[in-house]
Structure formats: C-alpha cells, structure tokens
Amino acid sequence: MSSALASARRPARAHVVRVGETVSLRLRRRPLVAGAALVALVLALLVVSVGTGDFPIGPAGVVKALVGQGDAGTVFVVRDLRLPRAVCALLIGVALAISGAVFQALTRNPLGSPDIIGFQQGASVGALFVITVLGASGVAVNGGALAGGAVCALAVYGLAFKRGGTSGYRLILVGIAIGFLMLSLVNYLLARARVEQAEEATRWLLGSLNGRGWSDVVPLAVVLAALLPALPAAARALRALELGDDSAHALGVRVERARLALVALAVALVAASTVAAGPVAFVALTAPQIARRLARAPSPPLLCSALTGTAIVLAADVAAQRLVPGTTLPVGVMTGAFGGLYLAWLLSTEWRRGRA
Amino acid sequence: MSDAPLQAREVTLAYDGTVVARELTVAIPAHGFTAIVGPNACGKSTLLRALVRMLKPRAGSVLLDGAEITSLPTKQVARRIGLLPQSSVAPDGITVEELVARGRHPHQRLLRQWSREDERAVREAMEQTAVDQLADQLVDELSGGQRQRVWLAMALAQATPLLLLDEPTTFLDIAHQMEVLDLCAELHGRGRTLVAVLHDLNHACRYATHLIAMRDGAVVAQGPPSEIVTAELVERVFGLRCLVVPCPASGAPMVVPAARAPGGGGARPAGQPAALASQLSA
Amino acid sequence: MPAAPVSATAAAPARPRAGRGRLAAGGGLALGLFALLLAALLSLAVGARAIPLHDVIDALLHGGGSEQATIVNSVRVPRTLLGIVVGAAIGVAGALMQALTRNPLADPGLLGVNAGASAAVVIALAAGAAGATSGSIWFAFVGAAAASVAVYAIGGSGRGGSTPVRLALAGTALTAALTAVIYGIALSDPRLLQQYNLWSVGSLGNRGREQLDAILPFVLAGALLALLLSRPLNALALGDDSARALGARVRWTRIGGALAITLLCGAATAAAGPMYFLGLTVPHVGRAVCGPDQRWVLAYSAVLGAALMLVADVIGRVVVRPGELQAGVMVAIIGAPVFIALVRRKRIAAL
C-alpha cells in the first residue's frame, strides 16, 4: 500500500511476509512505524475531541461512556452529540486526504488538488445560494451544495471534453476558470447578504462541524465504505502510472481507464466530504505531502495520507473549539493554520538540509 | 512469416488526424534481433508504439502470437511484451532497486506483492545491467547513462519473451552504447526476441539479425542486414551518399558516409589505400 | 512524433512565430490599445448617470464646474485611470509569475501576495486603524510585501535556491496559514466580517485619486523592473542551465522578478482588493496571440489586463443599476467564457 524510500545512509530493509506460494506481502518499516504512530495519535485525538466542549469530560469518562457505562447524561452527550461530530471529522480527514493523494500522484504535481474539478467551488455557490437567497438552513444547505457541486463538476468536464477525450491540461485550465467564476459568485453573494446570513455563510464556506449529527455522518460513511475496498487496487495502479504513461502502459495498465477511475474516485470522495461539512480547506493539499515525508515515500502513500488527514482535521476541530473561549471557529480555519504551518516548517527544514 | 510472434498487417497509423504511416506490413521474426531504422520522423517510433498496443491503428491489425492484440487482456500482453520507452518519469526520491522492482507489476497481484520469482528477476536484471552496486541510491542522483541502464533493468525485470526498445542508446557514451547493445545481443542469444528502434545505422547492421528500413511512413526494405544494406538503400532511405564496406571487426555491413564535395573539409585518414580513397571522394 | 500525452504537466510548446510575426504582434497590440481607449471612454461615459460622450470630451478638455464635468473629472477619470493601472499591473504580474515559475498555471497570488494583503487589512480593520477602502492601502501593501518576503525566504533556503516548485509550495503553505489568521480574527465580530467581506471582493467602487496617487510610484517601479527583466526571462524559459549558458543571471532574475511581482500585485491588491483570475488568464491570451517572447507578452498582458479591468468595471456599473456589481466579480464572469473558448480552440501554449 505504501512504498518506502531507503535513507541515503542506511538502507531500510523491507520485511517480506509469505504464506505459501500465493500470498506474499512486502512491508517496509518506515511507513508502518509512521502509520502506527498516526493511529495512536488519531485515537488520542478522538478521545480528546469527544471530551471537549461546554461540558468537559476526561478521557476515562469518555471511554466509559463510549461503551455505555457511566451516567445517562454523559453517555448521551458523548454518543449523540460529540461522537458524530468526531466521527465526521475523522471521515472527512480520510476522504479529503486520499482524494488529494490520488490527485497529486496522478498529476505528478505536489500542488495537484481535487479543487481542479470545481466541485467544491460549485458546492459553495449552491450552499450560499440556499443560505443567502433562499434564507434556508439545515439539510437544504447540504442539498444545495450537492446540486451546485454536481452541476459545476459536470460543466467543467463537459467544457473540457472535445472529440478525442479530455486532455489533462485542458481540464485543469477549464477547472481553474470555472473555479474563479464560482469564487466571484460566492464573493458577490456574500457581499450582498444580510449580516446574520453572511456569518452563517462564511462559516459554511470554511467548513464547519458544528451541529453535525449522525444524519450527516451516515451518507459520508456509506460512500467511504463503498470506495475503500478499491483503494489497494488504486494504489497499485498509481504506482505504475507515476512512471509515465508509456511505462505504465508497458507494465500492463490500461492508462486511460485507470486514470478515469482514479479521478472518479477522488471526485466522489471530495463530493461526499463537501456535502457533509462544507469545503474544508488545505487538507487535501497538505496531508499527502506531510504523509509522504513522514513515510519517506516517493509519492503520497494512501494509507498514511488518510491517517494524517484525520489527525489534522481532528486536531483542528479541537483547537477550533478551544482556541477562542466562547466561540467555535470553523474547522477549516484551523486546518489551514495547522496544515500550512507544519508544511512550511517541513519544507524549510528539509530544504536547509538539502533534500528536495 | 505467419508464425512471427509479432506482426503488423496493413496498418495505417495516425495521430490526431494526421496520417503518419499507411498500410505497413511488418513481421518480427521469432528469436531474432530486429532493428527499425530510418531518418527522423519516418514513423519508426510510431510503428513501435503500434506494435506494443500503445497506439490503436486506424486500419489494419497488429497480431501477437496470431491473435489480434487489442483483443487480448492488457496484463497478458504485458507478460509477453516488455517496452523500454524513449522517455520515462522517475518519481522523486525513488531508489534504483525500487524502480527496477516496479517492472514486476504485470506478474504481481494484490496479495502477491513480492514472490521469490520477483526477487530473482529483479536481482538478475540489476546484475545484467550492472546497476546492482547502485541499488540503494536515488535515481535522481544518477548520471544520464546510469539512469538509462536502470530503466533497462526495469524492462528486463518484466521478464518477457519479447522486448521492444525505443532508442535505448540515448545519452550513453560510446562505451556504454556498446555495452547496452552487447547486453541486448546476449539476451538475444539466450532466446529473447528483441525489437529496437536504433538511430545509428552501423549499430543496427552490427547487432541486428533483421532490419526494417523506413522512410516517410513506409517500409522501404526488410531483411537481414547483409542482404539489404547497400549504398542505394542508404541513399534512398537517408538521402546520404555513402560506401558500404564490411566491418573489420564483425563482418557486418558498415556504412561510411561519402566525403563532401572536392575541396570540402574532412581530413583524409592516414594510410588509406589510394583506391579506396578515390572511391570515397567520388 | 509522440502521441499527445494526457498528462497534466506537459503542454505543447508554441510554434515559433515566423517572419510576419513581428508585424502581426505589433498590429495586435495596436488593436489592443485601441480597444483600451474605447473602454476608457466608455468608463468615463457610463455609470449610474449616463453622460453622453460629447459632453465627456468637453469636460475633459475644458473642465468647468457643471455637475457632469465634476463627475467626469473628479470621479470617473481617477477611477478609470486607477482601473487601467490596476489591470495592467495585475496582468504584468501574472505574466511575470508564469515566466518565473515556468508554470502556466501560476497566478500572482501564488507568492502569498493576496493573503498577506488581506491579513494586514483585517488586522487594521480590527484595530480600527482604517476604513475598508481608504487608509487600508498602506497596511495592505506592507502585508503583501511581507508575505512575499516570507514565501521567498521559506522557498529559497537550501541547496539550489528557489525552484518553481518550492516557491509554489511555500506560497500555498503561507496562504493556508494566513487565511486561518484572517478568518480567526474576522469571525470574532459580525460587523468586522462584513467589512472584510466587502474589501475582499476586488472593486474599483469608491476608489479614485487617493489610491491612484498612493500606488502609482510602486506600479511604475515594478513595470520598469519588469521591462528590464524581459530579456533574461526569455532566457529563463529555456531552463536554468540554458539560461546560464546564455549569460542570464538566474538568481538575480528570480529575485528581481519576485520583487516586481510584489510591487505590482501588492500595489494593485492594496488599491482595489484581491482580484482573482485576471493575473492567471490574461498572459495566456497574450501568449496565444503573440507567442512566447516575454517582451511582447508583458506588453500584451498590460494592455489586455487594463482593458479587461475597465470593461468589467463598466459592465458592473450598468448591470444592476443603480447599484454596482464589483469589478472583481465581473472579471471572472466575462473572462471565464472567453478563456474557456480559447482553451477549447487552441492548444494553450506553454512558456
């Protein structure tokens, strides 16, 4: 699932696990260690996240409430109020990070991002329209986001499509143009909105986990459950595709088909995540890059990226709730801060040591 | 040759509406070392891509082992034909051993990630191309020649009976060029069928058992070099006036370009027999 | 000829413009200038109160105290000039950014200029130190400059100096962090949020003489620098090694380019708020028309940028009379269809 890079000084041996003649797995140490550390981190953050809020609960209390022990009030708070929010954060982190990793591997560009398809921008317009023009909120907003995003993504694809298929380059340019168009519309809607609407709209735009209940989580979980089994195959295809179209073809990969399937996978993940909690920025961009450096892999490893994404979103949510006493910031604000700062730090220390 | 493992029958090849080659018919002899030669943009790389299924012919068909290649599962084709492309991208930060290992992709499954066969093939491939000493180095840090050998190792690791090479001697100095070609000859000697697009006609004459000369998208001649390589052919294909002499080292035909017009540059090599010298300046 | 790769990073190089190229390029530029002139006249004539052209020219030439003359001379002329300056500045900054990073998808905001300006403005608004359109200009400019320096510092450290990828990554990281700061502050107060939202849509409304006077020296300095860099940038487009072989000083060209971008884009953003889309797309149109020679591309980017800015502003004034639709919104609405049509028609050239 992820491949490791041997350190220039000390080659990391891979462990091969063989079962009979048919099963053999190659496991490299560094991503495994990184992955295990991330899992521990995620669990810890999960407990902290559930314990955070107007009614603080210590870690022991959280664990007890999760299994149903403890007083009814605590169990209610944990299971019905906080857990869905935390699970939502977790799933969003997974979805966005994998989507970003797939795009960055496909485009061989560390700035590759699912935003290109325009889904998030279209979803923003749709949601804002519902909030500021129709004055509605709740499920209607999710619906607006889905409709707006779908229309936008289809428009981008349709406009980029010419006889012979979509040239990747044309797709990106059209995606960017439509993205800016949507951004302008968003700004326009914001500027003419009433004050209260503007605040709600801005919060949605930044990605918000406030008030997320099981009804928001379930569709996202369903989509993820449906798509996750495809991941190991996706990772295999990506490893061939990143060698260039010619080499990938020579290795027996149906390049066009694989690429289309991977793009569809990435877009579905982004769509599900955006509809659930709005466009949470910078996770898709930064998580794969961070994961890549943690696992010392040539390209963003899927599993590690997912864990990193989850860690970022959970940590961001906790910070968003605790940073400014009295208000809850949108989670997207903190993901930007964490993701951006950590990436900047990684980049500058790395470059000072002289590794690209 | 209807028993040729790989053949193209009356294929017409086009990119984006521009026809590059019309009604080509070529047959790659089994266990031979075929070289495709011709001037720039004559369609030789295009033909190679069609043979390996990267380009779907507008008309005609490409047959692998007698079956239409587009009807075969891609994985199966990848286990029969390996390709060393002209340009490939190495992901940032990948080691030599990792890259060569990727060549085993068609033989691997989700749960069969690293069988003993894989290990053996990779080790052999790296030894044959003399990159085993570089196993843990980053591909980014290698020289052009070393990198080319690593890509060749990856194609070898694929362990296919047919190996196609698109200009494998690019970036290599002459010693390494001969090394790569000697390696190809060795593989050929061990039973593999090789097809290489070569830009150096003399290399092709020296190493190939079968030559396909192309110009402007059509095959001008096909056959063993000793039979078809003549001064007329070279002039027809490349537009170069030349003399064809037997190579002193290998006996294969060797193309020596004619001197420029009298008074033009170029030293006359010392010790050149007078008769030959007068022929060269004809 | 290899098959056109469906890869996101490669694009076909522009076919070199042969002999008649210079004439065609010059002709196109003249056409562009003419269009700009028309747009400028429109900008003077059109608005909440339509003033016939003949009266506009009268007011320009003879001044006078009539209401119409006042509107023309003290409101519309500065606004039009500002639009020209801002549009040209962003266009050139975009062309520079793409040449500098050898990436046709680069946008002048990549150096963190937009984010830096916005962050500074939010801080100023929160501290009550400035109104949304007046007084914030210096904060915005300083913020933009500080952000570019930071991006260049992060991206430029280490062996090899700054490569396009490092700059882009650093810019993205900084934008992410700054956006967090911006909204962290803005969300603490609904009125502040509204003020900020108002500023963050690029607009020429309620802006004029004050902004123009403030930014003109910086824009001129940036433009001059860009002009000086146009030849080294041509060399840079061939790759760092080839550029050095041709005698171009790669490192200084990059630094100079970054400086020019900061001056131009920082000033424009400070005056009119963040304008998206213009800096990215105008150079593409320029390159499609005149080929990859940076001297022509910069000229075209300036003229086309200015023209697009004015047209967007004019239409924005007309479309929702008596209110106004900000130019920043109109630029994308007008520009996107044109750009997409172009992308579909031609193979958009790389650099």
Q: Dump strand ranges (E) for chain C.
A: none
- Is there a contact between B125 and B156 (Cβ–Cβ < 8 Å)? yes
- Is there a contact between A141 and A276 (Cβ–Cβ < 8 Å)? no
Of C329, C317, C320, C322, nearest to C79 by C-alpha is C317
Of C271, C251, C276, nearest to C333 by C-alpha is C276
- For residue A95, pLDDT over 80 is answered with yes
Of A108, A168, A113, nearest to A298 by C-alpha is A108
- Phi/psi for B95 (5° steps) reads -85, 165
Residues in Cβ contact with C282 at an 8 Å cutoff, skipping those fewer than 6 apart: C90, C91, C94, C95, C300, C301, C304, C305, C308
Taking residues B77-104, report their average pLDDT: 87
Out of C1, C3, C4, closest to residue B41 by CB: C1
Separation of alpha carbons C95 and C257, rounded Å: 10
Q: pLDDT tens digits, residue range B5-38?
A: 888 888 888 887 788 888 889 999 999 999 999 9
- For residue B82, pLDDT over 80 is answered with yes
The answer to whether the CB atoms of C1 and B86 lie below 8 A apart is: no
Taking residues B157-174, report their average pLDDT: 88
Residue with tokens 């078809």: B228
Banded model confidence at residue C228, pLDDT cuts 50, 70, 90: very high
> If you write DSSP's letter for every residue of B208-223 in order, what string do you get?
-SEEEEEETTEEEEEE
Q: Dump strand ranges (E) for A270-319.
A: none
Amino acid at residue number C170:
A
Separation of alpha carbons A128 and A126, rounded Å: 6
pLDDT of residue A100: 92
The answer to whether the CB atoms of B86 and C4 lie below 8 A apart is: no
What is the sign of the dihedral through the CA atoms of A314, A316, A317 and A319? positive
Chain B neighbors of C163, CB-CB under 8 A: none
Per cent of chain A over pLDDT 90 is 12
- For residue A12, pLDDT over 60 is answered with no
pLDDT of residue C161: 57
pLDDT of residue C93: 94
Banded model confidence at residue A225, pLDDT cuts 50, 70, 90: very high
The answer to whether the CB atoms of C174 and A344 lie below 8 A apart is: yes
pLDDT of residue B207: 93
The answer to whether the CB atoms of A5 and B93 lie below 8 A apart is: yes
Q: CB of B69 within 8 Å of any CB in chain A?
A: no
Separation of alpha carbons C139 and C118, rounded Å: 9
Per cent of chain C over pLDDT 90 is 17
The answer to whether the CB atoms of A112 and C174 lie below 8 A apart is: no
- For residue A8, pLDDT over 70 is answered with no
What is the number of other CB atoms lying within 10 angstroms of the CB of residue C241?
Answer: 9
Q: Characterize A158-183 residue by residue with b for buried, 16 or more Cβ atoms within 10 angstroms of its Cβ, and e for exposed.
A: ebbeeeeebbbbbbbbbbbbbbbbbb
The answer to whether the CB atoms of C3 and B86 lie below 8 A apart is: no
- Is there a contact between A186 and A125 (Cβ–Cβ < 8 Å)? yes
pLDDT of residue A352: 54
Q: Nearest-CA residue of chain A relative to C154?
A: A348
Separation of alpha carbons C309 and C306, rounded Å: 5
Interface test with B, best of C1, C165, C169 (most B CBs within 10 A): C1
Q: Which two structure tokens, joined as six digits, stand for A198? A: 């503007």
Separation of alpha carbons A102 and A120, rounded Å: 17
The answer to whether the CB atoms of C3 and B49 lie below 8 A apart is: yes
Of C68, C93, C36, nearest to C267 by C-alpha is C93
Banded model confidence at residue C80, pLDDT cuts 50, 70, 90: very high
Closest approach of B275 to chain C, Cα-based (Å): 43
Of A28, A2, A41, nearest to A307 by C-alpha is A41
Taking residues A87-113, report their average pLDDT: 87
State the Cα angle at C274 between C273 and C277, rounded to 5°. 140
Banded model confidence at residue B209, pLDDT cuts 50, 70, 90: very high
pLDDT of residue B262: 66
Mean pLDDT, chain B, integer: 85
- Phi/psi for B243 (5° steps) reads -125, 140
Q: Subunits touching A (CB < 8 Å, at least 3 pairs)?
A: B, C
- For residue C3, pLDDT over 60 is answered with no
Alpha-carbon A268 to chain mean position: 11
- Is there a contact between C6 and C13 (Cβ–Cβ < 8 Å)? no
- Is there a contact between C302 and C268 (Cβ–Cβ < 8 Å)? no
- Antiparallel, parallel or unpaired: β B33-37 and B59-64: unpaired
Angle between helix axes C164-186 and C136-156 (nearest 10 degrees) is 140
Q: CB of B102 within 8 Å of any CB in chain A?
A: yes
Residue with tokens 């086009």: B14
Q: Which one is predicted more confidently, A118 or A128?
A: A128
- For residue B128, pLDDT over 90 is answered with no
- Is there a contact between A306 and A98 (Cβ–Cβ < 8 Å)? yes
Closest approach of A167 to chain C, Cα-based (Å): 5
The answer to whether the CB atoms of B114 and A244 lie below 8 A apart is: no
Closest approach of B40 to chain C, Cα-based (Å): 9
Separation of alpha carbons C186 and C198, rounded Å: 12
- For residue A309, pLDDT over 50 is answered with yes
Q: Nearest-CA residue of chain A relative to B100?
A: A243
pLDDT of residue B154: 92
Banded model confidence at residue A10, pLDDT cuts 50, 70, 90: very low
Q: Which two structure tokens, joined as six digits, stand for A130? A: 């519902």
Taking residues A183-188, report their average pLDDT: 83
Separation of alpha carbons A167 and A155, rounded Å: 15
- Is there a contact between A340 and C180 (Cβ–Cβ < 8 Å)? yes
Banded model confidence at residue C204, pLDDT cuts 50, 70, 90: confident
Please state the CATH superfamily assignment of the domain spanning residues C75-349 in this structure. Answer: ABC transporter involved in vitamin B12 uptake, BtuC (1.10.3470.10)
CB interface of A with B, residues 19-38, below 8 Å: 21-26
- Residue boundaries of the structural domains of chain C: 75-349
Separation of alpha carbons B237 and B242, rounded Å: 12
Separation of alpha carbons A336 and A149, rounded Å: 22
| Complex prediction ipTM | 0.78
Which residues does residue B164 pair with via DSSP β-bridges, in sequence order?
B83, B195
Separation of alpha carbons B96 and B159, rounded Å: 18
Separation of alpha carbons B150 and C147, rounded Å: 43
In 3-state terms chain A splits into helix, strand, coil percentages (rounded to 5) of: 70, 5, 25
pLDDT of residue A169: 66
pLDDT of residue A243: 87
- For residue B108, pLDDT over 80 is answered with yes
Residue with tokens 């798509």: A227
Amino acid at residue number B272:
Q
- Phi/psi for B118 (5° steps) reads -55, -50
- Is there a contact between A106 and A258 (Cβ–Cβ < 8 Å)? no
Closest approach of C2 to chain B, Cα-based (Å): 7
Q: pLDDT tens digits, residue range C299-324?
A: 999 999 999 999 999 998 888 777 78
Of A220, A222, A207, A214, nearest to A141 by C-alpha is A207
- Is there a contact between C279 and C100 (Cβ–Cβ < 8 Å)? no
Separation of alpha carbons B150 and B147, rounded Å: 5
The answer to whether the CB atoms of A233 and B77 lie below 8 A apart is: no
Separation of alpha carbons C168 and C345, rounded Å: 29
Q: Nearest-CA residue of chain C relative to A103?
A: C8
Residues in Cβ contact with C9 at an 8 Å cutoff, skipping those fewer than 6 apart: A107, A108, A109
Taking residues A76-105, report their average pLDDT: 88
What is the sign of the dihedral through the CA atoms of A161, A162, A164 and A167? negative
- Is there a contact between C285 and C297 (Cβ–Cβ < 8 Å)? no
Separation of alpha carbons A270 and B131, rounded Å: 42
Lowest-pLDDT range, A62-71, A265-274, C18-27?
C18-27
Q: Whole-model pTM above 0.90? A: no
Separation of alpha carbons A175 and B111, rounded Å: 37
Angle between helix axes A119-128 and A195-205 (nearest 10 degrees) is 160
- For residue C11, pLDDT over 70 is answered with no
Chain C neighbors of A344, CB-CB under 8 A: 154, 170, 173-174, 177
B164: left (phi over 0), alpha (psi -120 to 50) or beta: beta
pLDDT of residue A1: 32
Taking residues B55-77, report their average pLDDT: 88
Banded model confidence at residue A143, pLDDT cuts 50, 70, 90: confident
Q: CB of B139 within 8 Å of any CB in chain A?
A: no
The answer to whether the CB atoms of C193 and A198 lie below 8 A apart is: yes
Which strands, in side-by-side order, build the sheet including B59-64? B18-28, B6-15, B59-64, B67-68
Amino acid at residue number A285:
L
Range with top average pLDDT, A10-19, A190-199, B180-189, C61-70: B180-189
Taking residues A136-155, report their average pLDDT: 85
The answer to whether the CB atoms of B93 and A11 lie below 8 A apart is: no
Residues in Cβ contact with A69 at an 8 Å cutoff, skipping those fewer than 6 apart: A75
pLDDT of residue C197: 83
Separation of alpha carbons C196 and C199, rounded Å: 5
Chain C neighbors of A329, CB-CB under 8 A: 183-184, 187
Q: Which one is predicted more confidently, A68 or C223?
A: C223
Banded model confidence at residue A213, pLDDT cuts 50, 70, 90: confident
pLDDT of residue B157: 92
- Using DSSP, state whether C49 is helix, strand or coil: coil
Mean pLDDT, chain A, integer: 81
Banded model confidence at residue A166, pLDDT cuts 50, 70, 90: low
Q: Characterize C5-17 residue by residue with b for buried, 16 or more Cβ atoms within 10 angstroms of its Cβ, and e for exposed.
A: bbbbbebeebeeb
Q: Subunits touching B (CB < 8 Å, at least 3 pairs)?
A: A, C
Lowest-pLDDT range, B113-127, C21-35, C69-83, C151-165?
C151-165
Separation of alpha carbons C39 and C305, rounded Å: 12
Separation of alpha carbons A263 and A237, rounded Å: 12
HSE toward the beta carbon, residue B265, CA cutoff 13 A: 0
